[in-house]
Amino acid sequence: MPSSMSSPSYGILGHDRGGAWFLAILVLVAVAVPVLNLAVPPSSAIHLSAFGITLIGKYLCYAMLALAVDLIWGYCGILSLGHAVFFSLGGYAMGMYLMRQIGPRGVYGDPILPDFMVFLNWKSLPWFWYGFNHFPFALAMMLVVPALLALVFGWFAFRSRVTGVYFSIITQALTYALMLAFFRNDMGFGGNNGFTDFKDILSFDLHSDKTRVVLFLFTALALGASYLACRGIVESRAGRVLRAIRDAESRTRFLGYPVESFKLWVFVFSAIIAGLAGALYVPQIGIINPSEFAPINSIEIVIWVAVGGRGTLYGAIAGAVLINYAKTYFTGVFPDAWLYALGALFVLVTLFLPRGIVGLVSTNRKTAAPLRVQAQKA
């Protein structure tokens, strides 16, 4: 067999040094954030506020989402423009659990019905809300619902051999259709306002700094575990088949590999990661509504991956964090110009940095290596 099929691939920086750097930085951040918030007094210049913890936690959730997209796009060639669907479904499952925990502390004091149902004159709790007052059931739904949708949708799409831009279009149509559905008040998901005004999670106050820190740590742990799981997949024999599908799908099918099965299971696994990211996002941000389904959100995820570096995993994470940090800053300084800047950035990266930021670092390192050798010989 060719060497590329018999030896594992470690990414463009060689032996996954980029991944090692990412995990080291993630551990450093996971240690520093609680210390700066809980141990450093608020009067100190280096104290990290509750808002800062929430912002960093949001970036890590987005990093998980970018990781999920890079797994299927960067390594299998499946360009999904609908991954916001899985993110949102995981978020809504968490939101349903948090709404059930409010109980009689809501505005209308109903021990069973959430406030929006009382306001809309609902008489009883819909059947699909049953069980969400128990965290184990809700946790299962956060993962199972995105996985089931990905399984059904992917089975029909891949069985019909829908690929390329056609697959991108139908995933975009899926997210738009669900956005319109969740906007309807009679769907039982809060309509335009969605879910908010959460009180606690597992009996812990969501507004407490300690609870915010714990949620942040769980998010960091989930991101690290997701990265290791994705890295294990892409370095395995199955990962080499995925890259073969990406580069030559017809030839891979001719060699006897069940291409549709490989694409389906990696698509489902990617949806699970996205759903988990959405579930961790909601208690930290404090709200979930149909705007999370917006097609532009799925397009932005692809931009994060492209800017960071497609097919590297850690590059996608870096792209998600950097672009969302820039978005936070520039939407405050130049709110009307941000979308234009984001579009221009995507075009420039596509034209001049096809391998993203980490590709630029790799190119510089490869260029510098021969120079160092020549200097040593001299």
**How far is 127 from 347, CA to CA, in rounded Å?**
47
* Residue 154: inside a domain: yes
Range of the domain at 138: 3-370
Q: DSSP E strands: which ranges in 3-93?
A: none
The predicted structure's pLDDT at residue 331: 80
CA 359 to each of CA 12, 228, 319: distance values in angstroms, whole numbers, following the listed order: 7, 21, 12
* Residue 51: inside a domain: yes
Residue bearing the bigger pLDDT, 236 or 338: 236
The 10s digit of each residue's pLDDT in 262-299 is: 999 999 999 999 999 999 999 999 999 999 999 999 99
The 10s digit of each residue's pLDDT in 122-176 is: 999 999 999 999 999 999 999 999 999 999 999 999 999 999 999 999 999 999 9
**How far is 197 from 279, CA to CA, in rounded Å?**
16
* Residue 350: inside a domain: yes
* Residue 364: inside a domain: yes
Q: Which of 53, 36, 1, 34 is nearest to 285 (CA)?
A: 53
The 10s digit of each residue's pLDDT in 202-260 is: 999 999 999 999 999 999 999 999 999 999 999 999 999 999 999 999 999 999 999 99
* Residue 376: inside a domain: no
Instruction: Give the model's confidence band at 6: pLDDT under 50 very low, under 70 low, under 90 confident, else very high.
Output: very low
Q: Which of 153, 167, 159 is nearest to 73 (CA)?
A: 167
With 70 as the cut, is the pLDDT of residue 15 above it? no
pTM: predicted TM-score of the whole model, two decimal places: 0.91
The 10s digit of each residue's pLDDT in 189-203 is: 999 999 999 999 999
* Residue 90: inside a domain: yes
With 60 as the cut, is the pLDDT of residue 363 above it? no
Task: Supply the mean pLDDT for the chain.
Answer: 89
Task: Count up the domains in the chain and report the number.
Answer: 1
* Residue 119: inside a domain: yes
Query: Span 317-325, mean pLDDT?
Result: 94
* Residue 377: inside a domain: no
Instruction: Give the model's confidence band at 362: pLDDT under 50 very low, under 70 low, under 90 confident, else very high.
Output: low
